[in-house]
Amino acid sequence: MFKLSLIGLFLSFCCAGSYAQTDGGDHDSIQTAAGTLSIVKVEHVKTDGVTFNASLNGAQFDQLYGSHYTYYTDSTGADKPATRVVVQDFIGGFSDTPSVSLYDFRKKPPVALPISNKLDVDDVRWTDSAVLLSANGKWYSFFRNKLSRSQPPKKTAQ
């Protein structure tokens, strides 16, 4: 029984990590369709609470206020640049729900769109026109800058 519990725990960690592209560190560089997105921890927390600066090709793009962040890209491989990135900014730490944004690099100029500050995202799925987000067993669709409840995505053949 103990062995099965350990195997289950191991698999849950493997599966949980497979959805998030990364838990942000002190510096991340993400190749996007619009260039390099860099998320860098500021040396000293700014007076307005900024803890990370996000820049696109060296120019200011967004700011994060939490102690850490997680991001998901729509890129299907390491050699393919992302056209969209969902970022969770854990402003209140692990105890509060993060602020969730969509970075859309298909737009000219690229934009950072707020999605919600009430979702703790478990999974992200991408369609051409929307982003599907799973949080607490419920699915939501972010389409045309609006978040709404949706049906779970259809299973795809692996």
**Is 29 buried (19+), middle (13-18) or exposed (0-12) by CB count in 10 A?**
exposed
Other C-beta atoms closer than 10 Å to the C-beta of 146 total 9
pLDDT at 55 (0 to 100): 98
State pLDDT tens for residues 72-109.
999 987 789 999 999 999 987 666 789 999 999 999 99
Cα–Cα distance, 136 to 91 (Å, whole number): 19
State pLDDT tens for residues 51-74.
999 999 999 999 999 989 999 999
Q: Which two tokens stand for residue 138?
A: 């419920």
* pLDDT-based confidence at residue 39 (cuts at 50, 70, 90): very high
Q: Is the pLDDT of residue 50 over 50?
A: yes
Cα–Cα distance, 47 to 25 (Å, whole number): 21
**Is 99 buried (19+), middle (13-18) or exposed (0-12) by CB count in 10 A?**
buried
Average pLDDT score over residue span 137-144: 96
Phi/psi of residue 48, nearest 5 degrees = -85, 5
Average pLDDT score over residue span 26-35: 94
Question: Which of 3-17, 36-50, 114-128 is predicted least confidently?
Answer: 3-17
